[in-house]
Chains A and B, each alone.
Chain A
Amino acid sequence: MLKVRSALPHKTLTCLAALMLAGTASASNTLYVESWRSDDANIWSDTIIPAFNKHYPDIKLQFAPTPPTDYNSALQAKLQAGSAGDIITCRPFDASLQLFKSGYLESLNGLEGLNDFSDVAKSAWVTDDGSEQFCLPMASVIHGFIYNKEIFEELNLSVPNTQKEFFDTLATIKSESRYTPLDMGTADQWEAATMGFQNIGPNFWKGETGRKGLIDGSAKLTDQPYVDTWKELAKWKPYLGRGFEAQKYSDSQNLFTLGRAAIYPAGSWDIQTFNNQADFEFGAFKPPVLKEGDTCYISDHTDIGIGINAASKNKEAAKIFLNWMASAEFGALFANAVPGFFPLSNHTIAIKDPVAKEFISWRSQCESTIRNSYQILSRGTPNLENQLWNVSAQVINGTMTPEEAASETQKGLEQWYAPQQ
Chain B
Amino acid sequence: MSSSIQPEEKKPFPWHLIVFLGPGLLIYVTFSVYPLLDTLILSLYQEQSGESYFVGLENFVTLVTDENWSSAFWNALSNNFQFFAFHMLLQNPIGLILAVLLSSPKLRLAGTYRTLIFMPTMLSVVIIGFVWQLILSPIWGISEEFLYNIGLGQFFDAWLGKEGSALVTLSFISVWQFVGIPMMLIYATLLNIPDDIIDASTVDGANAFQTFLYIKLPLILPTIAMVSILTFVANFNAFELIYAVKGALAGPNFSTDLLGTFFYRTFFGFQLQQGSSTMGAAVATLMFLIILVGVMLFLFFVQRRIQRFQF
Binding site for B on A (CB under 8 A): 93-94, 98, 101-102, 185-190, 241-248, 251, 255, 373-374, 378-379, 381-386, 389-390, 393-394, 397, 399-400, 412, 415
Contact of B160 among A242, A246, A378 (CB under 8 A): A246
What's the least CB distance linking A154 to chain B, in Å?
21
What's the least CB distance linking B248 to chain A, in Å?
10
Stretch at the interface among B200-208, B212-220, B269-277: B269-277
Contact indicator B252/A186 (Cβ below 8 Å): yes
Q: Is the interface of B mostly helix, strand, loop or mixed?
A: loop
Residues of B near A399 (CB, < 8 A) are 163, 252-253
Residues of B near A189 (CB, < 8 A) are 247, 249, 251-252
Contact indicator B137/A245 (Cβ below 8 Å): no
How far is it, in angstroms, between the C-alpha of A69 and the C-alpha of B163 when the chains are bound?
A: 29
Q: Which of A241, A246, A389, A399 has the most CB of B within 10 A?
A: A246
Residues of A near B246 (CB, < 8 A) are 187
> Once A and B bind, how many residue pairs between them come within 8 Å at the CB atom?
103
How far is it, in angstroms, between the C-alpha of A187 and the C-alpha of B252 when the chains are bound?
A: 7
Contact indicator A393/B252 (Cβ below 8 Å): yes
B308 at the interface (CB under 8 A from A): no
A189-B247, A247-B137 are known; give 11 further A-B pairs, CB within 8 A. A94-B272, A188-B251, A241-B138, A243-B138, A245-B158, A245-B161, A246-B133, A246-B138, A246-B158, A378-B273, A397-B161
B 225-268 binary contact with A (CB < 8 Å = 1; else 0): 00000000000000000000011010111100000000001000
Residues of B near A101 (CB, < 8 A) are 49
How far is it, in angstroms, between the C-alpha of A244 and the C-alpha of B162 when the chains are bound?
A: 10
Residues of A near B193 (CB, < 8 A) are none
8 contacts between A and B (CB under 8 A): A187-B246, A187-B252, A248-B133, A378-B273, A379-B274, A381-B68, A386-B270, A394-B252
B50 at the interface (CB under 8 A from A): yes
Contact indicator B68/A374 (Cβ below 8 Å): no
Contact indicator B270/A242 (Cβ below 8 Å): no
- Give B279's nearest chain A residue, CB to CB: A381
Residues of A near B81 (CB, < 8 A) are none
What's the least CB distance linking A21 to chain B, in Å?
37
Q: A386-B270, A393-B251, A397-B252 are in contact. Are A251 and B158 (CB under 8 A)?
A: no
How far is it, in angstroms, between the C-alpha of A255 and the C-alpha of B162 when the chains are bound?
A: 21
Q: A241-B139, A383-B273 are in contact. Are A188 and B247 (CB under 8 A)?
A: yes
